[in-house]
Amino acid sequence: LTVMPMAANAEPSNDAAELIKKFTDGKEAAKGKITLDLPEIAENGNTVPLALTVESPMTSDNYVKEVLFVADGNPNAGVATLMFTPMSGKAEASIRIRLAQTQNVIAIAKMSDGSLFTERKTVKVTIGGCGG
């Protein structure tokens, strides 16, 4: 089992805001284009399936470049940064993540024209990826 210290509450207490600011260069991200598939309730925070779809034609002049994932209630907010190319064909990916407690998973997509989109989802964690 993975043991992570539990944060005192579910408020963003980690570096989520800083990571997002660094990724977006302080620009505002619009809502939309992103679909996040995450369980509403995760019984085991050690392995939570996360599937991403971003609406995009994925052509050489219009594609999704990067997607940042952060978790605002983990000891460290960083989860992963995915880098797509037109050769990806689709801006879709699945990974499995650790969540220490109930919190929000936030995705921000950066398109080839520099525009930004965001989506978030709350996951209730019954047994944290923290052994507790």
Q: Which of 4, 118, 131 is nearest to 68 (CA)?
A: 118
Least separation in angstroms between residue 98's CB and other proteins is 5
Cβ–Cβ < 8 Å for 31, 117: yes
Note whether 80 binds other proteins by CB under 8 A: yes
Note whether 75 binds other proteins by CB under 8 A: yes
**Which position among 7, 16, 42, 79 is part of the footprint of other proteins (CB under 8 A)?**
79
Q: Which residues pair with 106 in a beta bridge?
A: 70, 120
Note whether 127 binds other proteins by CB under 8 A: no
Q: List binders of other proteins among 6-65 (CB under 8 A).
A: 46-48, 58
Number of Cβ within 10 Å of residue 68's Cβ equals: 23
**What φ, ψ does residue 93 adopt, rounded to 5°?**
-160, 155
Residues in touch with other proteins (CB under 8 A): 2-5, 46-48, 58, 71, 74-76, 78-90, 92-99, 129-130
